[in-house]
Amino acid sequence: AGPGPEGLEPVGSVPRKGLETAISFTTEEPHVAARAKDRSGRVLGTSKAVKRGS
């Protein structure tokens, strides 16, 4: 989450639960994105940053 798509910082993490894993977090920041990592912490993919509430 962050003030814009280029300035995002982690706000939490959840363990994988099946093919699609639901996440929940609290932030006042206007932009959010999700990042998937493997067991060793290697990034598998990152979603597009979106503005909350739009």
d(C-alpha 28, C-alpha 36), whole Å: 22
- What is the chain's mean pLDDT, rounded? 92
pTM: 0.77
Distance CA 2, CA 38 (A): 23
The pair of structure tokens assigned to 18 is 């099946």
User: Which pLDDT score is estimated for 20?
Assistant: 87
Q: Dig out the tokens for 47 from the structure.
A: 């979603």
Residue with more model confidence, 19 or 28:
28
Between CA 17 and CA 6 the distance in angstroms is: 28
The predicted model gives 10-38 an average pLDDT of 91
Segment 11-27 shows an average pLDDT of: 89
Q: Per the structure block, which two tokens stand in for 49?
A: 């940053």
Give me the mean pLDDT over the 44-54 stretch. Answer: 92
pLDDT in tens, 1-12: 999 999 999 999
The DSSP H or E segment spanning 37 is strand 35-37
